[in-house]
Amino acid sequence: MPKHLLKLLDYTRAEITEILDLADKLKHEQKSGIPHDFPKGKTLAMVFDKNSTRTRVSFEVGIYQLGGHGIFLPSTSSQMGRGEPIADTARTLARYCDCVMIRTFGHEIVEEFAHWSDVPVINGLTDRYHPCQVLADLMTIREHKGKLAGLKLCYIGDGNNMANSLIVGGLKCGMDVSVACPEGYGPHQEALDFAATVTDAKFTLVTDPREAAAGADVIITDVWASMGHEEEAEKRQIAFKGYQINDELMALTAPGCMVQHCLPAKKGQEITEAVFEAHAQEIFDEAENRLHAQKAAMVLLMK
């Protein structure tokens, strides 16, 4: 198991499966009132440069359920927010805490932080990757479908951190992955370079959502304008017209196709309210599984 959880590119299929298996076990224990077998008193520092609901609550509740304590550090109230070098903050927090989770903008920030940190660092989200969310997605798909390998995963929308992590995570778990993005909004080259090396699963990148969705077992989307791109919202509404999960698109998917959304959703844009509500159970299972997947990652990283 790698020392840090920065991107799924660093993990093998076996290591991802190990996280998912442990997440299933921890979820069962939590639902059954069985105490987790994990050392008490571990401390998680949670550094936030971006607003959050699910990341903040799931990590803080998760470390509490493991018998530890979470410390919330928004950039507005930490020295990093006032310009302290990343190296100095990393070396300081590593003296106090057993693990650090960072939700920020540039992926290079978490990479530099991890370089200087003596304790595990978890990427809670960067502009390039969102590994914790995709672990929860994979966990949810496996819960509902009973497997991952051999399924077709389709992503419709912006080639953002979700697209990048889904490409990597899906292919590493043996899923065929199809992605549809408008011209100029494709996934990061690093994710595409990895996809080109995969021989046991199929990857396709197209501009036609209908082509990507055909025969999909699970279809996933995200908002058209992620945090940091709000000023492009009007421009993106034009560029992403037609990149919506709706009844017409769902009719092209495989019978029993799941829908996933990392939330928050802008219903009426990337997904219709009718499709969202028809698949709300799956979507909120996915949101809940952030808690269990992240607990599993913390246990394995801090053992």
**Residue 154 designated active-site:** no
Catalytic residue among 142, 188, 261, 290: 290
Average pLDDT over residues 7-24: 98
Query: What sign for the dihedral angle of Cα 131, 291, 44, 296?
Result: negative
Catalytic residue among 130, 142, 188, 261: 130
What does the DSSP assignment read for 51-70? --SHHHHHHHHHHHHTT-EE
What does the DSSP assignment read for 97-129? -SEEEEE-S-HHHHHHHHHH-SS-EEEEE-SS-
Per-residue DSSP letter, 33: T
Provide the mean pLDDT of the chain: 96
**Residue 281 designated active-site:** no
At 81, the pLDDT band (50, 70, 90 cuts) reads: confident
pLDDT of residue 40: 97
At a CB cut-off of 8 Å and minimum separation 6, what does 194 contact? 9, 167, 168, 171
**Residue 144 designated active-site:** no
pLDDT of residue 63: 98
At a CB cut-off of 8 Å and minimum separation 6, what does 24 contact? 139, 143, 292
Tokens of 217: 């077992």
pLDDT of residue 284: 98
Q: What percent of the chain clears pLDDT 90, i.e. is strictly above it?
A: 93
CB 281 within 8 A of CB 231: no
Candidates 70, 59, 125; CA nearest to 96 is 70
Amino acid type, 97: C
At 10, the pLDDT band (50, 70, 90 cuts) reads: very high
At 192, the pLDDT band (50, 70, 90 cuts) reads: very high
Average pLDDT over residues 84-97: 97
Average pLDDT over residues 103-122: 97
Catalytic residue among 54, 133, 269, 285: 133
At 137, the pLDDT band (50, 70, 90 cuts) reads: very high
Model pLDDT for residues 28-56, shown as the tens digit of each residue: 999 999 999 999 999 999 999 998 999 99
At 82, the pLDDT band (50, 70, 90 cuts) reads: confident
Catalytic residue among 49, 158, 222, 285: 222
Candidates 105, 129, 121, 14; CA nearest to 51 is 105
Q: Comparing 166 with 82, which gets the higher pLDDT?
A: 166
Model pLDDT for residues 247-302, shown as the tens digit of each residue: 999 999 999 999 999 999 999 999 999 999 999 999 999 999 999 999 999 999 99
Catalytic residue among 54, 103, 188, 261: 103
Per-residue DSSP letter, 143: H
**Residue 13 designated active-site:** no
Neighbours of 288 (CB within 10 A): 16
pLDDT of residue 227: 67
pLDDT higher than threshold 90 for residue 232: no
pLDDT higher than threshold 80 for residue 175: yes
Greatest C-alpha distance within the chain: 54
Q: Structural domains in the chain?
A: 8-130+290-302 (3.40.50.1370), 132-286 (3.40.50.1370)
Q: Residue 84's Cα: distance from chain center in Å? A: 28
**Residue 95 designated active-site:** no
pLDDT higher than threshold 90 for residue 230: no
Candidates 193, 196, 154, 160; CA nearest to 177 is 154
Catalytic residue among 99, 127, 262, 292: 262
Tokens of 272: 């219709």
